[in-house]
Structure 1
């Protein structure tokens, strides 16, 4: 559908290139930017215009690390991102995508720990895209295909090395997904079944990308073995073509201060010819499924196997022994039970309380509180973990190749998810650009627009220039801020009055106008 001609006046442009803000008028016709001129150059006669005086006009933000794969399948519109000025999301991160699926191995064994309940009516990746295309998109949709999803379709939740047949099935699934329009391959190497995969398995799979694709990874370790994990990611990414490190961090007090060393390693690899970049979220707490608190040996097998293990007397003792030895990754990273907040549960019980609080209230050991929640919720629970240091986050933000991703839980889970789901992008512009001066505003905008558009090959987005799609956001640099916190996260931000997609206004005065005006995008060649 054609959109009307519109002249945008009065704003200062942060055009995505990190050049200083400048006053300019922007002409939009048929959904594209057709002119960017000094104020008054474009005759306003008979042109509908919008006065953006006092606001900064920027390209629509790109969330490079989203888990909103299920957003098109919801009966309601997911507005968590569009109200932040995000017009494009890269989904399918951390090895979790919603396709391909297999009749032999139920995908729910993987997805139900992260996503709200889903009815799988598709099998291949093209089938999934047909389904989501029909449902429509609030934001533009750039899907990755997940290694864990490919592995489950081939061999279930097995901890074993794939045999030749399973390997062929995984490669065929990836090839079909890339042909259907996937943007790349993702992995989540702390989650089952991917945590059982060897480097060689992932490198063999990455061969399907032919040296011209992108490998996006939640690395195997973000604590004491962070540097080794970067080495592994580079090996796999070199086969794929490009490497992208998800939510770069150093988790745990014993590892704080490691991010500058990680950046040195990354930049040295880049100097040696590797194409590598990274993203962060602007918070010092992480969030993931609550089963990630368990040691690897507990995570093999399906839901019934894990629940039986947790409810057996020997399983409880083994788990307590593992925690005492500091074996589970999250506890090895430090912080203790009072740093683990229950974020969402299927029943909504215990949300917003730490495991230490739950244990004290029940008069039990924290390990028993953890087991009780996981068993009661049939593993459908998530946590927030306070594990990072501000200095490491700021170091990551200063690197020129760092992009921004929300890493929020999939929409529709309810509860008290990490506030990054609602506030990531205004938080960067408010707290870290305006208030702390970590990035100047034009550079902060570049990290959320032109840089991710280039790295992920997102077509015709990320800049305000003639020929680009008119995905735009206008914000007040003096007032833009995130609102929610860990106890009350579900609040839209302040200071983002207007958003448009392909020239169509979709947010007015900070309110979503309804409808799904995004598109599924195809990677640029």
Structure 2
């Protein structure tokens, strides 16, 4: 590619929500240097790309990614770049790959093994991790969060209970070091251990360490029967800490809360009206995906992998587990109660023995009850298993998508695990543009792109990104809105989308004519402000 590139003959959707307009763009030095009406930019010294009426827009920003490990893989992760994603916010749900303490290194490795493919994790600090990933390179740009799980495990392992003064001081020091190293925010995952053992005071104490304006990003304590209380908790922590709040993958999960999305949005709106800076994201599917151990109640999770495996082999613990799942007192995120054994599908395991089968199917195939099937899979795979859970309803999703402050995140699990991952890993952003723009008209094209570009850029302080204007970074997507759609589905989830013609990362063509070019043009971004 020459130093100057002219994108000619396209329709510009600039990311702000403004109507599409014919425009030509000149790229130089990794930036958009000019945006003019058609025919006004000279082509004498530029390489010209004729867009023939295609839409050009900012690169999409995946605000909820778990691809922290992608730079460490030998093979480039194409799942996001082929959707038009040029920036990923990683370190979500409390899971960042650092910090790691020598005292509790094995505990963190065990926790991470439930969701990440095998990692060496030889680093200790975020700067050490970043040195490794920076050297490996990034397919997309990365905006890393620091995860509460990692901070807590480094200080006190997988123990239940509140941290003592020394533990909390260690966590606060590590949080400060993370932000000095370039973290964009603090994330929690309050349905997973050890985050589920934490209470307001602990999280608030860490959030207060963040520079002003950095967000507290939370996978809330519950998205089913605990939904409204969990929203209130997230708002309470952010308000007390004086920091913005971002609710990850907002949903009404489980039959008992279907139809309550309006109440959830009303709580968020009420907080905004009294001055709390709170936003949220969604993914455009009716099923979620996470580690299979999330089916277990909080008491089962204390102590890490060896303790969980011992309980799975202990008849008394299994009897208590059965009672907790069947009685469901509403005090924990009970996925079995939310969607039934048939609604929980094994996505990927270490052995790949049962990938793509529901727990009910596995039980039928092996001649045991579903609870025993769950136990058998977890024991055989030593907890290294993920699941897809069918727990949502379309009208709740549509109501959330329509909200003006809703962003889009894939929540795609870490790449490299094989199996049958959730199709959102490969299809999220084209699915919004096809199903919820072109097919159902839930959103206009301009509004959908705003939710995927400028809105998240502002929330996470991604300078120079999210809009197409002179001086902006040339992270761009060229697409055909009449054709773009997701190909990935639950039966065949590892399939690139259609209709994404070109993707530029920092002015470099990462996808050209629908083909990934095999170069890591991304970078780890630096937060704006202090």
> SS of the counterpart of 1:524?
coil
Q: Distance in 2 between matches of 1:295 and 1:34?
A: 54
Q: Distance in 2 between matches of 1:212 and 1:457?
A: 9
CA shift at 1:331, angstroms?
3.6
Q: TM-score, normalised by structure 1?
A: 0.98
Q: Distance in 2 between matches of 1:49 and 1:515?
A: 21
Deviates more, 1:53-62 or 1:90-99: 53-62
Task: Identify which of 507, 511, 514 aligns with 1:510.
Answer: 514
Does residue 213 (structure 1) correspond to residue 217 (structure 2)? The answer is no
> SS of the counterpart of 1:120?
coil
Q: Any stretches of 5+ residues in structure 1 without a counterpart? A: none
Name the residue aligned to 1:342. Answer: 346
Task: Identify which of 268, 271, 275 aligns with 1:266.
Answer: 268
> SS of the counterpart of 1:208?
coil
> SS of the counterpart of 2:142?
strand
Mapping 1:433-444, distance limit 5 Å? 433-444=437-448
CA shift at 1:47, angstroms?
2.3
Q: Distance in 1 between matches of 2:334 and 2:252?
A: 12
Does residue 465 (structure 1) correspond to residue 464 (structure 2)? The answer is no
Name the residue aligned to 2:388. Answer: 384
Mapping 1:105-504, distance limit 5 Å? 105-106=104-105, 107-238=108-239, 239-326=241-328, 329-331=333-335, 333-504=337-508
Contact 2:346 2:359 in 1 (8 A): yes
Q: TM-score, normalised by structure 2?
A: 0.97
Contact 1:203 1:235 in 2 (8 A): no
Does residue 524 (structure 1) correspond to residue 525 (structure 2)? The answer is no
Contact 2:3 2:46 in 1 (8 A): no
Mapping 1:70-89, distance limit 5 Å? 70-89=69-88
CA shift at 1:272, angstroms?
0.7
Contact 1:110 1:152 in 2 (8 A): no
Q: Distance in 2 between matches of 1:18 and 1:427?
A: 19
Contact 2:341 2:359 in 1 (8 A): yes
CA shift at 1:240, angstroms?
4.8
Deviates more, 1:307-316 or 1:282-291: 307-316
Q: Distance in 2 between matches of 1:125 and 1:318?
A: 40
Alignment RMSD (CA, Å): 1.2
> SS of the counterpart of 1:213?
coil
Q: Distance in 1 between matches of 2:489 and 2:46?
A: 43
Contact 2:434 2:484 in 1 (8 A): yes
Q: Distance in 2 between matches of 1:298 and 1:126?
A: 34
CA shift at 1:332, angstroms?
6.2
Q: Does the C-alpha gap of structure 1 residues 452 and 364 become closer, same or farther in structure 2, counting only changes over 3 Å?
A: same
Q: Any stretches of 5+ residues in structure 2 without a counterpart? A: none
> SS of the counterpart of 2:436?
helix
Q: Distance in 1 between matches of 2:278 and 2:49?
A: 40
- Following TM superposition, the consecutive aligned residue runs of length 4 or more in structure 1 with deviations greater than 4 angstroms are none
